[in-house]
């Protein structure tokens, strides 16, 4: 594309493919203030902080103005300065003033801009009526009192993740951002990915804290408190202490955790290696038998919940492997109980994760042994940063320490799990040698790497051809599922991570304003892989030892009991459309109108049953209603007639069941 030029603050700046004037100005190393602009999302133009003066055009918003040859732009003037300060004052006037105790702290964009623009007083009275803080979600805390209506969370949830759990409601001064039907976040279809919290410029959406519970466990001398640290944490935590994104801080993280009082510190990358052994064996078996393909990865709990809610027909395609977090919890508690006679109820497993959805995952009943969860508490990277600061530890001066053994030893295959494509690459490192039956010095599969949210490639290993898709961002996952459903594409293996770029960009990671932070974190994990002596999960000697002592062999009954799980359809909104009370003596018919059943013909079934009842003159004897949801989404449409639940219901099946029930009721009346 032909390069063009414009004048920005008396400096000539060339431009080409930039989307808007804002991007050209930033290219000139001028950081215009914004709330609502994110390059990955649509242009919204709500905050008006990026207003600039363009000669011949007057004041324009830089984010929504196209760059043009010969423009003369002024980013600072007396009028612009007054406008920006007034915007910040108005936002502060409608914002709860508990900044010193806000968990967003120094990463709050409102605080930063207020200080940067010299706002030392607010001339306007407080206008917001306080509302209750939403603590219903296990993963996120939502404080509407701190919302500045920038719309970032709404666009992230709708455009990138295609979930739509939150949106704008009401108009004018009553405008607010909230979940549907006025419900709490934990009651709607939120998948807990935390990407809304990542882009929220204030403390309106933050990871739900578990810091106090962790300190309580650490101060209880009767408990053995174990930490596990996810691979993506090591390339982001240092940013809070002045280090560049991608800096490996593993040794200092371990040292800090020991200083706080953790009894053992393990590396989740170890069970990432273990996950690959189990998942790759499962994949090769499916490939051999041609069953349940494509196999979808199951490490990301936000993706799993997304599938349970929207695509339950593909639950059988998910790998049955638990995530590395859950495998570590189960294996650690089993080993400490067997080898050191520590009761499971005395062990507190604390996960340090880049991900808010891991908080939800740890509370799932599928990941418990009776009353004891495999993972007790989950801290995000942000929370660990706060604990390190609270402890007074000078992080960048700590002497580096090593993980405890045996669950602290990892290969590079486990470490790269934190990147989009990392799980796929680790599976290929295992599967390629398993297919060929011989060792290979190569361990890099570049086709699995990249920044695009949807990548496809085909790989041939001897006579076996593998078709693979690597996906990050749930909107891209929805597109891949569309292609599969339409028959447009056929895959053998599909990796899905909910967060764009993978776990290194999780909702619990430090908030970064650098344009290159994702690339730097990604490179950091690949560099960490290079620095390790072993790169393939099957080369980890302690994985072999774990099978020998606890698990017998990959895919064994013991391994399945400890390391695998099950999935089931999930209702998207709790308490929605309750079944109405029926009159005494009426036959009750309820038809599920959840998304899956609706797409399978629930509406046509509803109309057909109503027409049938009218033909039979039975409408007075029957109460028919639409409801939601029987959580049998993969077997829809689902109809409940009396106490009988019909799956894959057709109009003929419904007619026959209604006749039978009405005949039975008539006989009862005659008796």
Residues catalogued as catalytic: 279, 282, 299, 319, 358, 361, 366, 503
Joined together, the tokens standing for residue 340 give 């050191």
Taking the C-alpha atoms of 334, 283, 304 and 474 in order, what is their torsion angle to the nearest 10 degrees? 140
Question: How many angstroms separate the CA atoms of 319 and 566, rounded?
Answer: 9
Query: Which of 457, 456, 458, 427 has its CA nearest to residue 443?
Result: 427
Query: Of 569, 548, 568, 540, which Cα lies nearest the Cα of 275?
Result: 540
Burial zone of 144 (CB within 10 Å; 0-12 exposed, 13-18 middle, 19+ buried): middle
DSSP string, 316-343: GGB--BPPHHHHHHHHHHHHHHHHH---
Tell me the CA distances in angstroms from 249 to 257, 488, 522, 525, one per residue in order. Answer: 12, 44, 14, 11
Output phi, psi for 593, to 5 deg.
-110, 20
User: Of all helices (H) and strands (E), which one includes residue 474?
Assistant: helix 474-486
From CA 237, how far away is CA 239, in angstroms rounded? Answer: 5
Q: Determine the Cα angle at 456 with ends 453 and 457, to 5°.
A: 145
Q: Which helix (H) or strand (E) holds 79?
A: helix 78-93
CB 373 within 8 A of CB 363: yes
What does the DSSP assignment read for 148-165?
Answer: ----HHHHIIIIIS----
Sign of the C-alpha dihedral, residues 204, 206, 208, 213?
A: negative
Closest CA to 498 of 197, 192, 193: 193
Stated as kind and residue range, the H or E segment containing 277 is helix 268-289
Percentage helix, strand, coil for the chain under 3-state DSSP, each rounded to 5: 45, 15, 40
**Contact between residue 589 and residue 637 where contact means Cβ atoms under 8 Å apart:** no
């Amino acid at each position: 594309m032909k390069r063009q030029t414009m004048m920005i603050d008396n400096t000539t700046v060339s431009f080409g493919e930039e989307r808007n004037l804002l991007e050209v100005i930033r290219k000139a190393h001028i950081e215009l203030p914004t709330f609502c602009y994110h390059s990955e999302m649509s242009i919204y133009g709500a905050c008006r902080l990026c207003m600039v003066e363009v000669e011949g055009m007057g004041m324009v918003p830089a984010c929504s103005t196209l760059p043009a040859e010969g423009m003369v732009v002024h980013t600072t003037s007396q009028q612009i300065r007054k406008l920006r300060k007034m915007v910040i004052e108005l936002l502060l006037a409608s914002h709860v003033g508990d900044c010193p105790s806000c968990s967003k702290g120094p990463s709050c964009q409102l605080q930063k801009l207020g200080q940067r623009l010299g706002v030392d007083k607010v001339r306007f009275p407080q206008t917001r009526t306080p509302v209750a803080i939403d603590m219903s979600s296990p993963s996120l805390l939502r404080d509407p009192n701190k919302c500045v209506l920038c719309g970032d969370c709404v666009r992230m949830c709708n455009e990138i993740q295609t979930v739509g759990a939150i949106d704008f409601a009401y108009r004018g001064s009553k405008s607010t951002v909230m979940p549907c039907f006025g419900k709490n976040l934990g009651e709607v279809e939120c998948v807990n990915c935390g990407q809304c919290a990542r882009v929220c410029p204030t403390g309106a959406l933050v990871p739900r804290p578990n810091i106090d519970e962790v300190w309580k466990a650490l101060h209880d001398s009767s408990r053995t408190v174990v930490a596990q640290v996810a691979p993506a944490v090591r390339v982001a935590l240092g940013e809070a202490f002045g280090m560049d994104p991608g800096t490996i801080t593993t040794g200092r993280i371990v040292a800090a955790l020991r200083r706080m009082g953790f009894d053992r510190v393990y590396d989740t990358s170890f069970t990432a290696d273990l996950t690959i052994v189990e998942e790759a064996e499962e994949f090769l078996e499916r490939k051999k038998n041609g069953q349940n393909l494509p196999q979808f990865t199951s490490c990301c709990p936000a993706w799993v919940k997304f599938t349970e809610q929207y695509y339950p027909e593909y639950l059988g395609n998910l790998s049955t492997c638990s995530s590395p977090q859950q495998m570590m919890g189960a294996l650690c508690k089993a080993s400490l109980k067997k080898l050191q006679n520590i009761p499971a109820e005395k062990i507190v497993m604390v996960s340090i994760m880049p991900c808010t959805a891991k908080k939800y995952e740890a509370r799932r009943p599928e990941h418990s042994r009776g009353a004891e969860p495999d993972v007790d508490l989950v801290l995000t990277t942000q929370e660990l940063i706060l604990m390190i600061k609270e402890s007074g530890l000078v992080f960048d001066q700590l002497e580096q320490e090593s993980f405890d053994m045996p669950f602290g030893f990892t290969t590079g295959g486990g470490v790269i799990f934190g990147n989009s494509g990392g799980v796929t690459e680790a599976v290929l490192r295992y599967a390629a040698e398993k297919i060929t039956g011989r060792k290979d010095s190569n361990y890099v599969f570049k086709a699995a790497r990249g920044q695009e949210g949807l990548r496809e490639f085909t790989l041939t290993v001897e006579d076996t051809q593998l078709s693979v898709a690597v996906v990050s961002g749930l909107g891209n996952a929805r597109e891949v599922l569309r292609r599969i459903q339409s028959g447009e594409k056929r895959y053998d293996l599909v990796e899905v991570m909910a967060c764009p770029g993978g776990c290194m960009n999780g909702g619990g990671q430090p908030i970064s304003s650098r344009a290159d932070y994702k690339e730097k974190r990604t490179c950091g994990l690949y560099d960490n892989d290079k620095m390790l002596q072993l790169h393939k999960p099957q080369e980890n000697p302690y994985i072999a030892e774990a099978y020998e002592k606890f698990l017998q062999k990959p895919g064994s009954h013991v391994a399945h009991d400890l390391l695998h799980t099950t999935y089931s359809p999930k209702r998207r909104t709790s308490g929605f459309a309750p079944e109405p009370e029926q009159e005494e003596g009426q036959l009750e018919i309820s038809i599920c109108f959840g998304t899956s059943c609706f797409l399978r013909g629930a509406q046509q079934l509803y109309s057909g049953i109503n027409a049938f009842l009218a033909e039979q003159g039975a409408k007075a004897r029957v109460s028919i209603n639409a409801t939601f949801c029987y959580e049998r989404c993969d077997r829809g449409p689902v109809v409940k007639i009396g106490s009988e639940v019909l799956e894959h219901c057709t109009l003929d099946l419904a007619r026959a069941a209604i006749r039978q029930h009405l005949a039975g009721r008539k006989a009862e009346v005659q008796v």
